[in-house]
């Protein structure tokens, strides 16, 4: 395996009201290509801040974030736009689909940005939504909407799939199906996956578990025997 992501000495503070608040403190981590990494930590520990920094959505104060060998903290705006388009797919807790576009159109929306996007009909099939291409988001369950958002994130074949509480709004059996789908996408396209969660159960499927506390990496542990999501307990 080769290294895809390396975060070194990252600090980030927010200026809220009078005094600055340190959301990330000297964060170091590195992730291999093809790994599934789960980031755990209490509310406010900096998980989303870290994910957004890695996704090139937010700036950090200092430190470096190398993705595929390039330090994205040095990128100018147009490099960052290209980076987000070409290298990263995002999945959020609230699916963020466009309500007046169909399943097909939601996925198609960003596909043209890629030089070699996945075939949309095939992808709709792969995420378990065969026959639903022409439905609108309101005609789908939460789990089905999350499948669309995963398809949308993956259609450009990003190297990094960043998921911020992807199962936060789903019941436990639907959560497992969604995690299973993320796992399948990881296997099929060798997509490196970072999943933020509050759910300790999700750590079973991870190759590695990173815990944040007060903006610092508290632990970074390899899981020697990841379990397939469909076999996970809970």
Ligand X SMILES: Nc1ncnc2c1ncn2[C@@H]1O[C@H](COP(=O)(O)OP(=O)(O)OP(=O)(O)O)[C@@H](O)[C@H]1O
> Which residue ranges make up the site for ligand X (CB under 6 A)?
14, 16, 21, 23, 41, 43-49
Work out how close the CB of 115 gets to ligand X at its nearest, in angstroms, rounded to a whole number.
Answer: 33
- How many residues comprise the chain? 234
- Residue 55 or 137 with smaller CB distance to ligand X: 55
- Residue 123 or 217 with smaller CB distance to ligand X: 217
Which option in ligand X, Mg ion, none does residue 28 bind, with CB closer than 5 to 8 A by kind?
Answer: none
- Residue 93 or 106 with smaller CB distance to ligand X: 93
Q: Which of 135, 164, 168, 133 is nearest to 151 (CA)?
A: 133
- Residue 48 or 144 with smaller CB distance to Mg ion: 48
The answer to whether residues 164 and 91 touch, using CB atoms and an 8 Å cutoff, is yes
Which option in Mg ion, ligand X, none does residue 9 bind, with CB closer than 5 to 8 A by kind?
Answer: none
Residue 21 to residues 11, 17, 45, 217: CA-CA distances in angstroms?
Answer: 11, 9, 12, 17
Which option in ligand X, Mg ion, none does residue 14 bind, with CB closer than 5 to 8 A by kind?
Answer: ligand X
The answer to whether residues 153 and 146 touch, using CB atoms and an 8 Å cutoff, is no
Closest residue to Mg ion in the complex (CB) = 48
Under 8 Å CB-to-CB from 203, ≥6 apart: which residues? 38, 40, 209, 223
What are the residues facing 91 on neighbouring strands? 163
Which option in Mg ion, ligand X, none does residue 152 bind, with CB closer than 5 to 8 A by kind?
Answer: none
What single DSSP character describes residue 118? P
How far separated are the first and last CA of the chain, in Å rounded?
31
Residues of this chain that interact with Mg ion (CB under 5 A) are 48
Which option in ligand X, Mg ion, none does residue 173 bind, with CB closer than 5 to 8 A by kind?
Answer: none
Work out how close the CB of 224 gets to ligand X at its nearest, in angstroms, rounded to a whole number.
Answer: 27
Work out how close the CB of 110 gets to ligand X at its nearest, in angstroms, rounded to a whole number.
Answer: 24
Distance CA 70, CA 213 (A): 27
Distance CA 126, CA 226 (A): 23
- Residue 30 or 52 with smaller CB distance to ligand X: 52
Work out how close the CB of 16 gets to ligand X at its nearest, in angstroms, rounded to a whole number.
Answer: 4
């Amino acid at each position: 395996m080769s290294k895809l992501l390396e975060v070194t000495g990252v600090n980030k503070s927010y200026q809220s009201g009078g005094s600055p608040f340190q959301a990330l403190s000297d964060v170091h981590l590195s992730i291999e290509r093809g790994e599934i990494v789960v980031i755990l930590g209490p509310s406010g520990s900096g998980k989303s801040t870290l994910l957004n920094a890695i996704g090139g959505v937010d700036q950090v104060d200092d430190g470096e974030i190398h993705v595929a060998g390039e330090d994205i903290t040095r990128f100018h705006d147009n490099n960052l736009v290209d980076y987000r388009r070409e290298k990263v797919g995002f999945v959020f807790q609230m699916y963020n689909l466009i309500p007046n576009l169909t399943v097909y159109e939601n996925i198609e929306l960003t596909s043209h940005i890629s030089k070699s996007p996945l075939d949309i009909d095939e992808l709709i099939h792969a995420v378990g939504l065969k026959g639903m291409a022409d439905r609108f988001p309101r005609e789908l369950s939460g789990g089905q909407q999350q499948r669309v958002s995963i398809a949308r994130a993956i259609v450009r074949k990003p190297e990094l799939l960043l998921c911020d509480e992807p199962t936060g709004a789903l019941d436990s059996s639907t959560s497992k199906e969604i995690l299973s789908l993320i796992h399948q996408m990881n296997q099929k396209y060798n997509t490196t996956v970072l999943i933020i969660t509050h759910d300790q159960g999700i750590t079973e499927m991870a190759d590695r578990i990173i815990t944040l506390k007060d903006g610092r990496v508290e632990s970074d542990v390899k899981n020697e025997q990841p379990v397939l999501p469909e076999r996970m307990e809970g």
